[in-house]
Amino acid sequence: MTKFLFFIDELSTWVGKAFAWLILVLTLGVSYEVFMRYVLRAPTTWAFDISYITYGAMFLMAGAYTLSRNGHVRADVVYRLWSPRTQATMDLVLYVLFFLPAIAALMYSGWNYADMSVRFREVSIFSPAGVPVFPLKALIPVTGLLLFLQGFAEIIRCVLCIRSGQWPQRLHDVEETESLIIREHQQQQAAAETSEKGAGA
């Protein structure tokens, strides 16, 4: 089961990190526009379209990756005080009642939206450059599918945690500073307790 969960995590990671390279396109496009607009006094007709298309693609395709790392924003003031089994039970209820229906709606509506955009080869209405926007809209149902797969993996994690009382392993590549500080504090406490026991003996 762990291999299956890691496979879905790795798929979400690969897609998220691949699309993260669009930040270079976004940076170069905006920098070029700033140079043309303020130095050469010749603004481009495509910079705005490129910026929202690249940012939109990054935002869409990073959703499953963020979910795989448990990185979405949550109000966890009370949540963090619960036992892992209680956390998993609450997460499972929320995934079933809210997450899965919302993602199903995203895939259904997104497919129709993307299909129409691709069939008409939709272009941007915000500039005369006619920048194609149908590739961005085609990502909407793909995003829904990736989120559905990752959500399924998270539901399995919840079930495993309810059974065992401990959260299953998760792939990690980025960690919040708060988590690092807490772990370092725990290690220092453990080391202090060990040295006290050694001194007492």
DSSP 123-147: B-SSSTT--B-HHHHHHHHHHHHHH
What pLDDT is recorded for position 201?
A: 59
- The tens-digit pLDDT sequence of the chain (201 residues) is 778 888 999 999 999 999 999 999 999 999 999 999 999 999 998 999 999 999 999 999 999 999 998 888 777 788 888 999 999 999 999 999 999 999 999 999 999 999 999 999 999 988 888 899 999 999 999 999 999 999 999 999 999 999 999 998 887 766 566 666 777 878 888 888 877 776 665
- Amino acid letter for position 124: S
Q: Which residue has the tokens 């797969």?
A: 149
Give Cα 138 to chain centroid, integer Å: 18
> Among 133, 137, 136, 138, which residue's Cα sits nearest to residue 46?
133
What pLDDT is recorded for position 174?
A: 60
> Among 105, 192, 88, 177, which residue's Cα sits nearest to residue 113?
105
What pLDDT is recorded for position 199?
A: 66
Nearest-angstrom CA–CA distance, 184 and 95: 32
Q: Which residue has the tokens 């395709």?
A: 61
What pLDDT is recorded for position 25?
A: 94
What pLDDT is recorded for position 180?
A: 67
Q: Is the dihedral of CA 23, 62, 169, 192 positive or negative?
A: positive
Q: In this structure, what token pair is assigned to residue 189?
A: 């406490």
What pLDDT is recorded for position 178?
A: 66
What pLDDT is recorded for position 186?
A: 81
Assess contact for 124 and 131: CB atoms under 8 A.
yes
- CA neighbours within 13 Å on the CB side: how many for 163? 7
Q: Backbone phi, then psi, for 132, in 5-degree steps?
A: -65, 130
Cite the DSSP H helix spans in the chain: 2-20, 22-38, 47-61, 63-68, 84-94, 100-119, 134-164, 177-200
Does the global pTM surpass 0.95?
Answer: no
